[in-house]
Amino acid sequence: MNKLDERFFINELSQKFKKFEPTPLWTSQEATRLLFLDEDVIPGSFYMSASWFWPGDWPPQKPGTEPRIKAHKHDFDEVIAFIGSNPDDINDLGGEVEFWVDGKKNIMDKSFLVFLPAGVPHCPLNILRAERPIFHYNTGITKTYFANEKDQAVTKKADLDTRHFVTELKSNIAQQSYSPTWTPQEATRLLFLDQEVIPGAFQSSCSWFWPGEWPQPKPEDTPRMKPHKHDFDEVLGFVGSNPDDIYDLGGDVELWVDGKKNVSDKSFMAFIPAGVEHCPLNILRAERPIFHFGACATKLYR
């Protein structure tokens, strides 16, 4: 592997955040923080965090006890995701997550994204059941994460709040799949969010790349994703699905940034500032499913 360009890439948890794990919210047997990115880790980046929640005994919260994460709100927009790891059913969460938004309880058993506009109270958050590892990422258009944890009133409702939650691809996005960039045997887009899906939302999406034959690109080949740049900041993540080694990507991903080739066999995030050219992007090897996620500081991806 060549050395990743530290101006753009991280492939381990910053020393600043190792002490948090996600403890005291969850024990190391329950959850593991994988990667964390903000302007203190890479100057200029907006924040994104990635973690795994582990299967096991998740007893229900007892009435009258304090929730692990209290209801709170931010002065920035945020997207939160919980994604199942069942390769035979990518929409299966493999458990149940209880997540309160704007005073309303939502119980999810499908992979989902939730858009939280600035000022909207959210949480408590409870893992009610986990039978498989569940991948979690959260991101916000802010340079650093902080919460206003003033308690918010919550009510008792249990139907899905479609003002905030996405659990399936919108039809026009589903029709696009990844063609002509990748075939359905190579990759599957799972969820996609922007302001056309939920008004006001910034763009975020997630996909699975599947194991199989990934031939090395030849120098004379036209790259599947040509070099390009945007007028907005972007964060891209690739995470392996090996529960015994969360940093094992299970393959090799090549991503060019600012004219430099970076090849990683470890789970990683890359911050792409506005105006910086990036790609080609190539999957050089995939021996396990690889989860890909990203977010852009824009309402529409162009």
The reply to whether 198 falls in a domain is yes
The reply to whether 154 falls in a domain is no
Q: Which domain holds residue 112?
A: 9-57+70-146+160-296
pLDDT, tens digit, 9 for 90 and up, residues 9-59: 999 987 766 555 555 578 888 999 999 999 989 999 999 999 999 999 887
Instruction: Write a three-state SS string for the chain.
Output: CCCCCCCCEECCCCHHHHCCCCCCCCCCCCEEEEEEECCCCCCCCCEEEEEEECCECCCCCCCCCCCCCCCEECCCCEEEEEEECCCCCCCEEEEEEEEEECCEEEEEEECEEEEECCCCCEEEEEEEEECCCEEEEEEECCCCCCCECCCCCCCCCCCCCCCCEECCCCHHHHHHCCCCCCCCCCEEEEEEECCCCCCCCCEEEEEEECCECCCCCCCCCCCCCCCECCCCCEEEEEEECCCCCCCEEEEEEEEEECCEEEEEEECEEEEECCCCCEEEEEEEEECCCEEEEEEECCCCCC
Whether 222 has a pLDDT exceeding 70, the answer reads yes
Q: Is residue 152 part of a domain?
A: no
CATH code, domain carrying 97: 2.60.120.10
Our count of domains for the chain comes to 1
* Assigned domain for 63 exists: no
- Does residue 187 lie within any of the structural domains? yes
Is residue 62 a part of any domain in this protein? no
Residue 207 lies in a domain: yes
Tens of pLDDT, residues 90-147: 999 999 999 999 999 999 999 999 999 999 999 999 999 999 999 999 999 998 876 5
Q: For residue 285, tell me if it sits in a domain.
A: yes
The tens digit of pLDDT for each residue in 77-94 reads: 999 999 999 999 999 999
Mean pLDDT for 242-253 is: 95
